[in-house]
């Protein structure tokens, strides 16, 4: 992975509410997101306990979210039903969204998770590419 993107004071504050294990999972996923798509903007939602990554602060332009829980982290995809998932990693029963539950760093380093993220980047409209 590339060198970790700078961690803002706001992100430090957000992550301070979680165990070191959950914090490390979230930061490793964050690194992977920026490695696969460095153009994304990071959004921190304290109330929803999530980090959002997309091209704009609109649902249409969100590639993925990292949702933090007390013992694990979910990598969520707003358009998860449209992703190729040959390994069957995606969970959820919503109309569109799916997620992968992350409990270990080794999961994040897998080619399958990188492929899901790459697929999410490919199906998320980039501002300007859609006639905006």
Q: Would you list the DSSP string of 48-68?
A: TTEEEEESSSSGGGEEEEEEE
Residues 106-127 have a mean pLDDT of 95
The two structure tokens encoding residue 55: 């091209």
pLDDT band at 9 (very low <50, low <70, confident <90, very high): very high
pLDDT score at 2: 46
Report DSSP state, residue 9.
H
pLDDT in tens, 10-32: 999 999 999 999 999 999 999 99
What is the pLDDT, as a whole number, of residue 4? 60
Q: Which among 31, 30, 29 has a CA at the least distance from the CA of 108?
A: 29
Q: From CA 26, how far away is CA 38, in angstroms rounded?
A: 17
CATH tag for 9-122 (out of 3.30.1600, 3.90.1170, 3.90.1150, 3.40.50):
3.90.1150
Query: Lowest-confidence range among 4-8, 85-89, 96-100, 103-107?
Result: 4-8
């Amino acid at each position: 992975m590339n060198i970790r993107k700078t961690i803002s004071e706001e992100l430090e504050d957000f992550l301070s509410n979680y165990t070191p294990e959950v914090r490390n999972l979230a930061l490793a996923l964050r690194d992977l997101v920026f490695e696969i798509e460095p153009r994304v903007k990071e959004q921190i939602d304290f109330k929803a306990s999530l980090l959002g990554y997309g091209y704009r602060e609109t649902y249409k332009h969100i590639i993925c979210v990292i949702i933090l829980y007390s013992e694990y982290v979910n990598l969520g995809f707003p358009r998860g039903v449209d992703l190729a998932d040959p390994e069957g990693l995606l969970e959820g029963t919503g109309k569109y969204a799916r997620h992968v539950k992350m409990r270990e760093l080794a999961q994040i380093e897998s080619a399958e998770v990188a492929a899901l993220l790459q697929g999410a980047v490919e199906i998320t409209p980039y501002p300007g590419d859609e006639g905006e």
